[in-house]
Amino acid sequence: MTNSKRILVVGGGIGGTEASIALRKKGFFVKLISDREFLYIYPLSIWLPTKEVKLSDISIPLEKIAKGHNFAYEISKVVSIEPNEVVLENGKIYQKGRDFDYLVIALGQDKLKPKGVEYTYSICASPEETIKYSMALEILLEKGKGKLAFGFGGNPKAKEAVRGGPVFEVLFNIDNILRKKGIRNNFEISFFAPMEKPGARLGEKALKILDYMFKKKRIKKYTGKKIKEFFPDGILLEDGTKIESDLTLFTPAGDGHPIIKQSQNIPKTEAGFIKIDKTCQVEGLEHVYAIGDCVSLEGPEWKAKQGHLAEVMAHNVASNIALKEGLIKGEPQYYIDHLNIMCLMDTGDGGALAYRDDKKAILIPMPIIGHIGKKMWGLYYKLYKTGKIPKIL
């Protein structure tokens, strides 16, 4: 099935690649623009620090995805974006009417930059940064002793832009490795976050289990205190407490993408996230859609930005554009109807399946099988994204 409408998708991450696949399936001509040669599978990057995976194990070349699903792609950085014009670093300009009919924005998000953040590493930034963290961790492991701190921050202007799950995952994976090496007693591990109850959006049961794990694994917890500043040897909290740390993994809250913040005519919130309606159409712009981490979400207090949601939005956009073009019949698809949190949280030796929607919040501990399950998901994901098997999850 092919129709004549051309869709330009910007951002080749979890949402952008999925939108390209879904739009192609509806018969549109698709071109994907991204600054990275590969799709970086963030959910699997939690194993980079413990060297359970290499970068090549958790990336999929865009070339393979594009070939598998028959769409065009170009590697270049987008330097400016307006509803009718996308400018690339390589000098190319894509214009509405001449080069595309619809624009789908999937550029992901930036991070807030608290004072001294340069003394920390984030698991949620670039692969290069996570690799630098892995190298610093290796040096400490060779020394055989040290102080490790793990934390995440919040954005008061965009409460859903918090990313805590991966920080817990890396923490528990490193604790597991230290135990396996028999050197856990030589390490002090601290966890910090400014909210009173980090992880609360997963529900009360999840909080109790987290607390239990922290106690069992002797992890010192500092919560409910704002972070004042980071230093090379630790973290200063607003009440004067200093958490000593030789190596700090910190994930600041999400912030709007700089290209979106600079845009004159893409509507955005104060925090720089794109304003969309329930169909993922950008407010007031009939031919522009936005998905994933770069948008501002409506919905319940516990809502969270996830890859899983970025993919739901990608499929909604494909259906909603096809509906607008009269290619299919039916009702528009609303992302809000599919809001939930679903995450297989890995601990290195097992895991837990966390699920939250409007009616329930459950956490199912999955010793051993949780870890294997996440590995299996990674295998499935690579096969699906390269067009070798159909979508089943």
Ligand X SMILES: Cc1cc2nc3c(=O)[nH]c(=O)nc-3n(C[C@H](O)[C@H](O)[C@H](O)COP(=O)(O)OP(=O)(O)OC[C@H]3O[C@@H](n4cnc5c(N)ncnc54)[C@H](O)[C@@H]3O)c2cc1C
Contacts with ligand X, residue ranges (CB under 6 A): 11-16, 33-36, 42-43, 45-46, 77-78, 106-108, 123-124, 163, 166, 259, 292-294, 305-308, 310, 343
Q: Which is nearer to ligand X, 259 or 322 (CB)?
A: 259
Least spacing, CB of residue 66 vs ligand X, in Å = 13
Residue 310 has which token pair? 């970025």
Going 30 to 34 to 38 to 39, the CA torsion angle's sign is negative
Least spacing, CB of residue 237 vs ligand X, in Å = 24
- Residue 377: beta bridge partners? none
Q: Which is nearer to ligand X, 14 or 285 (CB)?
A: 14
Q: What SS3 state is found at 7? A: strand
- Nearest alpha carbon to residue 129 among 252, 287, 231: 252
Burial label, 210 (beta-carbon count in 10 A; 0-12, 13-18, 19+): buried
**Contact at 8 Å (CB) between 330 and 301?**
no
Least spacing, CB of residue 3 vs ligand X, in Å = 25
Least spacing, CB of residue 16 vs ligand X, in Å = 5
Chain residue at closest Cβ approach to ligand X: 13
Least spacing, CB of residue 373 vs ligand X, in Å = 11
Q: Which is nearer to ligand X, 124 or 352 (CB)?
A: 124
Q: What SS3 state is found at 32? A: strand
The angle subtended at Cα 75 by Cα 93 and Cα 295, nearest 5°, is: 75
Q: Which is nearer to ligand X, 234 or 346 (CB)?
A: 346
Percent of residues in the chain assigned helix, strand, coil, to nearest 5: 35, 30, 40
Give the C-alpha separation, 73 to 244, whole Å.
Answer: 46
Give the C-alpha separation, 96 to 102, whole Å.
Answer: 8
Least spacing, CB of residue 238 vs ligand X, in Å = 26
Q: Which is nearer to ligand X, 127 or 224 (CB)?
A: 127
SS3 annotation, 100-165: ECEEEECCCCEECCCCCHHHCECCCCCHHHHHHHHHHHHHHHHHCCEEEEEEECCCCCCHHHCCCH
Residue 344's φ and ψ, nearest 5 degrees, are -95, 100
Q: Which is nearer to ligand X, 166 or 198 (CB)?
A: 166
Least spacing, CB of residue 40 vs ligand X, in Å = 6
Burial label, 113 (beta-carbon count in 10 A; 0-12, 13-18, 19+): exposed
Question: How far apart, in Å, do the first and last CA atoms of the chain sit?
Answer: 24
Least spacing, CB of residue 103 vs ligand X, in Å = 13
Q: Which is nearer to ligand X, 8 or 321 (CB)?
A: 8
Least spacing, CB of residue 381 vs ligand X, in Å = 11
Q: Which is nearer to ligand X, 124 or 178 (CB)?
A: 124
Q: Which is nearer to ligand X, 8 or 46 (CB)?
A: 46
